[in-house]
Amino acid sequence: MAIGGDLAIGDVVVQGVQLTLVLVVAPFLTGLVRTVKARLLRRRGPSPLQPYRDLQRLLRKEVVLADSASWLFRVAPYLVFAVIWVAAALIPTFATGLLFSWSADMIAIVALLGTARFFLALAGLDVGTSFGGIGSSREMMFASVAEPAMLMAVFTLSLLAGSTQLSSVANFMLSQHVGLRISLGLVFVALLIVAIAENARIPVDNPATHLELTMVHEAMVLEYSGRHLAMIEAAAFLKLLLYASLLACVFTPWGMAAAGEGAIAYLVGIAAYLLKLTLAGVALAVFETSIAKMRVFRVPEFLGAALMLGLLGTLLLFVTRSL
């Protein structure tokens, strides 16, 4: 899709499908991870559809707002949700060359996630409790290493593909002259580490815990309730989906439809996308059950490894294009 081509109805529909698809599938991915984790721990666990029920329940409940909460606290959930949704909708999932995919490249998507994090961290400080502060402070500390690591990974990919557009990167990965490259391996590991950290998964953070001092993300949103909490949870589901889609789009672009290939190709693309997500969810659950959480101050070293891998990948490509 060239920038500013004519607004064809078909393109609008495809972009609309993408927007809805990510929103509808996101809770399922998180539910799937939870179910598989429970099974691996020999529990029955909830159905993968439980997150949908949770959201519905939260939406119906009243909001209990702390006395000291300001307008920022009430606006932040919607803003965070909207920003992450927009970012998720800009990542090619089942088709490349979406209508608006050119309005933000990979660097802008990383920065959009930064915007969401910025406002969530502020919301954590808004009520003026110590738990909110501890969450915000640690989240920003993780991000201060994770974001550059992700940017270096992005640099490596864009140096390979000669473009910072995700669509172009996906097309490049589909093309013949990719081959096995060291830099791609480095970037894959770096992006995996960042994805785990940014989604508050084990070993960085434990999404299931409510032990006060072991949590980061959960501490930050501790004061939220009702529909606000629903928005925050939905944003977290979308973020997990976003990283899974990003990895899928870059490293397993097979089955993706090109722009304007027709309905069959799109359906194949959607089926392939759902399959990839399922695999990613299962892999995440297996990984999480097989590893222990690390201490908070070990995390920067873990993320620092990702930063170094990303930097190494970029450096290799500055030296020679063939690695």
* Contacting other proteins within 114-173 (CB under 8 A): 114-115, 117-118, 121-122, 124-134, 136-138, 140-141, 143-148, 151-152, 155, 158-159, 162-165, 168
Looking at the Cβ atoms of 134 and 244, the one nearer to other proteins is 134
Query: Does residue 287 bind other proteins (CB under 8 A)?
Result: no
Q: Are 194 and 204 in contact (CB under 8 A)?
A: no
Provide the minimum distance between the beta carbon of 8 and other proteins in the complex, in angstroms, as a whole number: 15
Count of CB atoms situated within 10 Å of the CB of 179: 7
In 3D space, the residue among 18, 53, 47 whose CA is nearest the CA of residue 32 turns out to be: 47
The CB-of-158 to other proteins minimum distance in angstroms stands at 6
Residues contacting other proteins: total by CB under 8 A: 90
> Over the Cα atoms of the chain, what is R_g?
20
Angular region, 322: left φ>0, alpha ψ -120 to 50, beta rest: alpha
Amino acid of residue 297: F
Q: Which is nearer to other proteins, 95 or 229 (CB)?
A: 229
Among 41, 108, 271, 275, binds other proteins (CB under 8 A): 108
Q: Work out whether 233 is an interface residue with other proteins (CB under 8 A).
A: no
End-to-end alpha-carbon separation of the chain, Å? 30
**What binding mask, one character per residue, do residues 14-53 give for other proteins by CB under 8 A, x or -?**
----------------------------------------
Q: Is 318 in the site for other proteins (CB under 8 A)?
A: yes
CB of 256 to other proteins, least distance (A): 18
According to DSSP, residue 62 is labeled: P
**Angstrom distance (rounded) from CA 283 to CA 245:** 14
